Amino acid sequence: MRITRRQFGALASAAVLVHNIPADAANPDVLVPGWDLPANLDPHQVLDVPAQNVALNLYDNLYRYEGNPPELVPWLAESHTVSPDGLQWEFKLRDGARFHDGSPVTPEDVVFSFQRILKIGKAPAAAFLPVLKPEGIAAADPRTVRIRLEKAYGPFFSAVPMVMIVNQKLVKSHDKDGDWGAAWLGSNEAGSGSYRLIPDTYTPLEKADIERNEGHFLGWQHNEHPIRRVEIRPTKETSTRVLALLNGSLDLTDTYLPVDQIENIEKSAVAHVNRNQTMRIFLIRMNNTKPPFDNVNARKCLAHAFNYKGFIDEILKGNAQRDPTPLPNTVWGFPRDAAGYEYDLKKAKEYFNKAVADGAPMKRPVEIHILQQLEQTTQAAQVFQADLASLGINLKIVSDTFPNLTTSTGKAETTPDMWVHWVSTYFVDPENWVGQMYDSQFHGTWKASAWYKNPKVDELLRKARGLVDQEQRAPLYEEATRLIVADSPDIWIYNTIELAGMSNRVKGARYCPVGSGSEVRWMSLSA
Amino acid sequence: MLRFVLRRVLTAIPSLFGLLIITFLLIRVVPADPAAALAGDNATPQQIEAIRHQYGFDRPITEQLFLYLGQVLRFDFGESQFSHRAVGVDLRQRLPATLELAFAALLLATALGIPLGVIAAVYHNRWPDFLLRVLSVTGIAVAAFWFAITLQLIFAMNLGWLPLRGELSSGIVPPPSVTGSLILDAAIAGRWGVVADALQHLVLPAITLSVGALATITRFTRAGVLETMQKDFVLYERAVGYPRWRLVWVYVLRNSVIAAVTQIGLLFGALIGGAVVVEAIFDWPGVGNYLVNAILTADYKVMLAATLMIGVVYTLVNILIDLVHGWLDPRLWEQP
């Protein structure tokens, strides 16, 4: 291959004398979101916010959360029934749903999907492993799936949307050494969703392009100008992400936009900030097994020493809603009468003295671990550090990562004194928060890293878990939450208002806390 | 010469194994449990334990190390715990982008650094020298992320001359992969528009990456030229009226540049390392980005293979630099 001088000259000119390069995302039917990509594309292996973003577009589930507050709506299933004892569930599939390869979605695919989740045993399986065996799932007839639980489990129906339905035949054809197609599906897809993956475009964690599935069962009547193609381009640096939104090379940011970037976006004529009340609580954990945190007065001292209003109003510029409990204030089972703890250094000092009288080592240096990539965790720790210093408590801030912390919280002795994090919505049920955070049977998981134990709370949570009727369950969660708040095992700060940058050309987006409004099927692009 | 190369290659092998063993041990010292990371956000301790057993993380560390070294000897770098893809394949896919960026930065730093160094030496203790000294110290001291964001604000946002991020504009279909380098592949396919687009995307990351190297090369060239200009042969040439600039560029420079060439070899390693930050800021799909993701998710086979690969590239470039040394000063071939 030879390049002539003329070609070289043209090339050099083109490369150098460029003015006003058109924005990358200006293509009228190509959406360019800056979402992170999940570690792999298999919805049965990965369950986190990026995985939800992708899976809700590539796959369908039996029921799906839509709207805010989220409601379960029939999706691949047109209806369901449950036996009075809550053990037997039947889901009737709708007609006409097809996978991307054209084959129909059958009950066998649903059975395979549930069994695959149980066999692979990764995150989405956690909600089902205690109550469901692979043989408990069967096709009852050509349109019905029957699921028999080992014991009644209230959160089951709420967790059903976590199961994305995969094409059994396609996945089985790529099974390698009995891996249930895990290696193949990590870089491919076998769904029936509104969009399909263009496999050649996929580079793990770097990029993925998806295109519209015109034959989706739901049709496209609701959207006059559906988006033809989506180019997912993760953008690691916040500053780059925001600049890219402002120069039009990205259409959407993620939903963790730092508050200090909001003004920049709001001043712009090309983009805006979407604010949505969600179900993601922010809290400071305390290791209740380590002195002085094993003393309730010490814990209450700390709960009164955090400047909730100052943090929310000054640091977050009001972009969060104070939530004094471990439950999002938007989920059922939230006790409306729970006052929680307010910032009051005088009360904090009183509890400090009580704790000292109890023999708690209040002067010992305390460590708080923050998530180094998430600036807000540092800010919270710094706010706390200043106030604790005035009480004579020496708080040392330690930078850490989520994988390190999930490992160290496996044992009480290696769990840090304190750490800061969020708990997001994986399924909309109090079980996702108080159930898994404060029932002592979950000790050893990062969610239960307070190592809190109260037999009465355990009893209430287990009872609530064994019931199916929400009206019966709600008071049990309310009571358990009140007891937990009274024991003050952690410091609950706020329920998140999600902040996401969005190009003004994106229209019709529908927000839901599950998936953070990432379903592209509702969106269109104006010229 | 062949003996020289062979000797360099043979001495590199134990170094690379040393690198691998140290990296392996360092990774395992960090408390992050790959099984916990792999199990995901909602996993139970039982699930984590099952995964730990499945991947062999519960075996003694020496056994894990020897198993891994055995795999590496067979050029099998294992698979990513998360993507389930062969790490070797993923690295091959990303290496060209990093090399493209590092070579562009090195080319820029060398093409500008050597002439600037010569100018600084020729105008020793006069204003061009002072100016270049200030600039080179600034270049070494400036933080890459600050400089990158400044360039983005000026050239991508305010002037709109260059793209902000990525390696290709949206909507452009990449050329078929032959070499893995987007620019070369587009040129091979004769898609000059794609070449131009890719070059535009390369400019800001390459400039950012080159700044530190440019400053170092300028300083080393300046020092080398200053030293050579004190030599007798230069005094003689000047005395006989040899044209000044010809003397500097042809004779002085060749005798002065060895130290700068050594630096270029060392800088290449620094550039590959520095690419981690630059790739993250500009969303450049190279090894640096891949490595950062692996560190954040405790994907230890990726960390090991990426570190080894950077070590191999660094070693190869240094062997190449030794060859250039030999070309500049053939006496080096004779050394034991």
Closest by Cα among B96, B78, B95 to B87: B78
Mean pLDDT value across residues A26-38: 86
Q: How far is B195 from chain A (nearest CA, A)?
A: 8
Report the distance separating Cα B75 and Cα B86, nearest Å. 11
Chain B partners within 8 Å of A40 (Cβ): 82-84
CB contact under 8 A, B42 and A126: yes
Q: Name the pairing type of β-strands A137-141 and A88-93.
A: unpaired
What is the chain A residue with the closest CA to B196? A15
Give residue B75's Cα distance to chain centre: 22
- Kindly state whether A21 is in contact with chain B, defined as any CB-CB distance less than 8 angstroms: yes
- Angle among Cα A72, A76, A82 to the nearest 5 degrees reads 60
Work out the percent of chain A whose per-residue pLDDT is above 70.
95
Identify the DSSP state of B57.
Answer: T
Contact: B32, A247; criterion CB under 8 Å: no
Rounded to a whole number of angstroms, the distance from the CA of A21 to the nearest CA of chain B is 6
Q: Does A204 reach chain B within 8 Å, measured CB to CB?
A: yes
Q: Do B31 and A414 touch (CB under 8 A)?
A: yes
Q: Average pLDDT of chain A? A: 90
Q: Which of A52, A180, A179, A56 is nearest to A114 (CA)?
A: A180
Asked if A118 contacts A134 with a C-beta cutoff of 8 angstroms, the reply is yes
Angle between helices B2-29 and B300-328 (to 10 degrees): 150
Residue among B156, B170, B280 minimizing CB distance to A237: B280
Q: Which chain A residue shows the shortest CA-CA distance from B83?
A: A40
Classify residue A62 as exposed, middle or buried by CB count within 10 Å of its CB (0-12, 13-18, 19+): buried
**Chain A within 8 Å of B298 (Cβ-Cβ)?**
yes
Q: What CA–CA distance (Å, rounded) separates A209 from A231? A: 4
Q: Is B8 exposed, middle or buried (0-12, 13-18, 19+ CB in 10 A)?
A: middle
Q: Which residues of B touch A204 (CB under 8 A)?
A: 80, 82-83, 85, 90
Give the chain B residue whose CA is nearest to the CA of A250. Answer: B170
> How far off is chain A from B255, nearest CA to CA, in Å?
33
Cβ neighbours of residue A435 under 8 Å, at least 6 residues apart?
A155, A429, A461, A464, A465, A477
- Of A69, A84, A36, the closest CA to residue A333 belongs to A69
List A residues 212-241 in contact with B (Cβ-Cβ < 8 A).
231, 233-237, 239-240
Alpha-carbon distance of A412 to A449, in angstroms, equals 8
Taking only the tens of pLDDT, chain B with its 336 residues reads: 677 778 877 888 888 888 888 888 887 776 667 777 777 666 677 777 777 787 777 788 888 888 888 888 888 888 887 788 888 888 888 889 999 999 999 999 999 999 998 899 888 888 988 998 888 888 778 888 899 999 999 999 999 999 999 998 887 888 888 888 899 999 999 999 999 999 999 999 999 999 988 998 998 889 888 888 888 888 888 788 888 788 888 788 888 877 777 778 778 877 887 788 899 899 998 988 888 888 877 788 888 888 888 888 888 888 887 787 777 777 766 665
The per-residue pLDDT for range A326-382, each reduced to its tens digit, is 999 889 999 999 889 999 999 999 999 999 999 999 999 999 999 877 888 999 999
Comparing CA positions, the residue from A516, A524, A525 lying closest to residue A48 is A516
Q: Name the residue with higher pLDDT: A46 or A368.
A: A368
Closest CB to A240 among B37, B164, B203: B164
Beta partners for residue A145, in sequence order: A91, A139
Cα B66 to its chain centre, rounded Å, is 29
ipTM: 0.77
Residue A320 pLDDT greater than 50, yes or no: yes
* Cis, peptide link before residue A69, omega less than 30° from 0: yes
Q: Does B165 touch chain A (CB under 8 A)?
A: yes
> Cβ of A186 under 8 Å from any chain B Cβ?
yes
Of the candidates A42, A40, A211, the one whose C-alpha atom is nearest the C-alpha of residue A113 is A42
Q: Is 60 exceeded by the pLDDT of residue A15?
A: no
Task: Sort out which chain A residues have CB atoms less than 8 A from B34's CB and list them.
Answer: 403
Element holding A73 (H helix, E strand): strand A71-74
Which residues, 6+ apart, have CB-to-CB distance to A455 below 8 Å? none
Tell me which residues of chain B, numbers 50 to 89, contact chain A at a CB-CB cutoff of 8 Å.
Answer: 50-51, 79-80, 82-85
Helix (H) / strand (E) containing A63: strand A63-66
Look at the block and give the residue holding tokens 């990726």. Answer: B302
Considering the entire predicted model, what is its pTM?
A: 0.82
A408 and chain B in contact, CB less than 8 A: yes
CB pairs under 8 A between A and B: 193
* Cis peptide upstream of residue A292 (ω within 30 degrees of 0): yes
Residue A32 in contact with partner chain B when CB distance is under 8 A: yes
Whole-number pLDDT of residue A2 = 46
Taking the CA atoms of chain A, what radius of gyration do you get in angstroms?
Answer: 25
> Which is it for strands A229-232 and A30-31: parallel, antiparallel or unpaired?
parallel
CB contact under 8 A, A233 and B166: yes
Angle, helix A345-357 to helix A296-304, in steps of 10 degrees: 160
Q: Are B139 and B215 in contact (CB under 8 A)?
A: yes
- What are the tens digits of pLDDT across the range A74-83? 999 999 999 9
Q: Are the Cβ atoms of B47 and A129 closer than 8 angstroms?
A: yes
Angle between helices B87-122 and B127-141 (to 10 degrees): 160
Residues of B in contact with A46 (CB under 8 A): 40, 82
Contact A1 B190 (CB under 8 A): yes
CA atoms within 13 A on the CB side of A73: 12
Residue A16 pLDDT level (bands cut at 50, 70, 90):
very low
The span from the first CA to the last CA of chain B, in angstroms, equals: 11
3-state secondary structure A210-241: EEECCCCCCCCCCCCCECCEEEECCCCCHHHH
Q: In this structure, what are the phi and psi dihedrals at residue B139, rounded to the nearest 5 degrees? A: -60, -40
pLDDT at A286: 97
Q: What tens digit of pLDDT does each residue of A114-126 get?
A: 999 999 887 688 8
Check if B273 contacts A (Cβ < 8 Å): no
Rounded Cα–Cα distance for residues A470 and A333 (Å) = 9
Q: Which of residues 233-252 of B touch A (CB under 8 A)?
A: none
- b/e per residue, B276-285, with b = 16+ CB within 10 A? bbbbbbbbbb
User: Which pair of structure tokens corresponds to residue A32?
Assistant: 């360019």
pLDDT score of B156: 93
Instruction: Give the Cα separation of A403 and B41 in Å (integer).
Output: 10
Q: What is the pLDDT of residue A26?
A: 58
Could you report the per-residue pLDDT of A290-319, keeping only the tens digit for each? Answer: 999 999 999 999 999 999 999 999 999 898
Please give the pLDDT value at position A507: 94
**Alpha-carbon gap, residue A172 to A178, rounded angstroms:** 9
Dihedral angle computed from the Cα positions of residues A397, A401, A404 and A407, in that order, rounded to the nearest 10 degrees: 100
**pLDDT tens-digit profile of A436-448?**
999 998 898 889 9
Q: Which residue has the higher pLDDT, A485 or B47?
A: A485
> In this complex, which of B40, B157, B161 lies closest to A46 when CB atoms are compared?
B40
